[in-house]
């Protein structure tokens, strides 16, 4: 995902010299294409994320469009109040780009995991929160950011995620979820890099003759309430899948919509627990442990269905 992001941003930056990329001294083997092609639009601000956000605000107040890059906890929590005051309060066109969503930096430990970031940034007025599900969504949404004003948080996986969509997304717009499949028994709504796992889970269910739909909720703010309202009328179960805490992320956003409705399908939350890691391992290890593999997602849905469908 991050390589697609940098490739896309480099293309955009070549056409628009007001586009700038700042980094908090991270991005080795990733940011070089932008840095080398557009050295005057690139600044390494050092390991100083608060200053990075303030500088981005000052640049944006002077007419620039700025992207700030770091690993998620440093691009969000470390400079949280600077994002709130300098970017959101000022409503400036600055995008915080965080890499390593969820357990992507597995063995590096809880300091590098990101399971609460969406909850925090979604709560700030003016913020757009984007969690693309594959490189094609990254490309489309990066172009989408350029079409809007105001601050944004772009939550990326790491590297090597496959494309889930079959072709470039011409009509992918911020705030509009993408329906990949429709289904009668369950609709899986996935966000971020869980899209791939959710797609695999859907296929497993289909082999068992469970009619399963799949929606990519790439934008968590502004939230596509309409698609949720439709899904819970047309399907027997809505299952949300995210590599983020159940507090404040996709599940919360869906529950908020459902709380205003009656007579809708039940909602199954599949998310990470409200806890830090108690041991270490790869992203695969953690996903297995918390039930975020295709098999376990399918099992959770299967377990839920007989009682509620």
Report the interface residues with another protein, using CB under 8 A: 40, 43, 45-46, 48, 50-51, 53-64, 81-82, 85-86, 89-91
Q: Toward another protein, which CB reaches closer, 55 or 169? A: 55
- E strands of the chain, at which residues? 19-23, 42-44, 65-71, 94-99, 128-130, 152-155, 178-181, 186-190, 212-216, 219-221, 238-245, 267-272
Smallest separation, CB 40 to another protein (Å): 6
| Whether 111 contacts 84, CB under 8 Å | no
**Phi, psi angle pair for 66, to nearest 5°:** -120, 140
Q: Toward another protein, which CB reaches closer, 3 or 51? A: 51
* Residue 41: HSE in the Cβ half-sphere, 13 Å Cα cutoff: 25
Q: How far apart are CA 76 and CA 67, in angstroms?
A: 13
Smallest separation, CB 193 to another protein (Å): 31
| CA dihedral (255, 256, 259, 260) positive or negative | negative
- What does DSSP assign to residue 235? S
| Whether 96 contacts 68, CB under 8 Å | yes
Residue 113 Cα to chain centre, angstroms? 14
Smallest separation, CB 43 to another protein (Å): 7
Q: How far apart are CA 296 and CA 285, in angstroms?
A: 13
Q: Toward another protein, which CB reaches closer, 78 or 218? A: 78
Q: Toward another protein, which CB reaches closer, 5 or 42? A: 42
Smallest separation, CB 35 to another protein (Å): 15
Smallest separation, CB 237 to another protein (Å): 44
Q: Toward another protein, which CB reaches closer, 53 or 189? A: 53
Smallest separation, CB 73 to another protein (Å): 17
Q: Toward another protein, which CB reaches closer, 64 or 218? A: 64
């Amino acid at each position: 995902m991050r390589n697609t992001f940098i490739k896309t941003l480099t293309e955009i930056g070549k056409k628009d010299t007001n586009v700038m990329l700042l980094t908090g001294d991270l991005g080795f083997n990733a940011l070089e294409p932008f840095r080398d092609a557009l050295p005057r639009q690139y600044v390494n601000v050092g390991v100083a994320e608060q200053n990075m956000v303030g500088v981005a605000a000052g640049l944006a107040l002077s007419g620039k469009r700025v992207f700030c890059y770091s690993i998620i906890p440093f691009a969000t929590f470390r400079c949280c109040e600077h994002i709130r005051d300098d970017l959101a309060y000022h409503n400036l066109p600055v995008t915080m780009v965080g890499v390593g969503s969820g357990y992507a930096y597995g063995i590096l430990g809880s300091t590098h995991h990101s399971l609460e970031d969406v909850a925090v940034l979604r709560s700030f007025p003016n913020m757009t929160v984007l969690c693309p599900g594959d490189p094609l969504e990254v490309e489309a949404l990066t172009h989408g950011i350029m079409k809007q004003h105001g601050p944004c948080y772009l939550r990326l996986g790491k590297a090597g995620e496959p494309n889930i969509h079959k072709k470039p997304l011409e009509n992918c717009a911020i705030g509009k979820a993408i329906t990949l499949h429709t289904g009668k028994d369950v609709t899986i709504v996935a966000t971020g890099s869980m899209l791939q796992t959710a797609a695999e889970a859907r296929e497993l269910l289909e082999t068992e003759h469970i009619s399963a739909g799949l929606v990519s909720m790439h934008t968590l703010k502004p939230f596509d309430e309409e698609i949720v309202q439709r899904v819970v009328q047309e399907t027997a179960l809505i299952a949300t899948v995210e590599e983020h805490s159940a507090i404040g992320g996709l599940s919360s956003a869906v529950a908020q919509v459902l709380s205003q409705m009656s007579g809708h399908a039940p909602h199954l939350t599949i998310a990470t627990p409200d806890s830090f890691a108690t041991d270490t391992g790869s992203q695969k290890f953690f996903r297995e442990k918390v039930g975020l593999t295709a098999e376990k997602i399918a099992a959770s849905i299967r377990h839920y269905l007989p009682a509620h469908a």
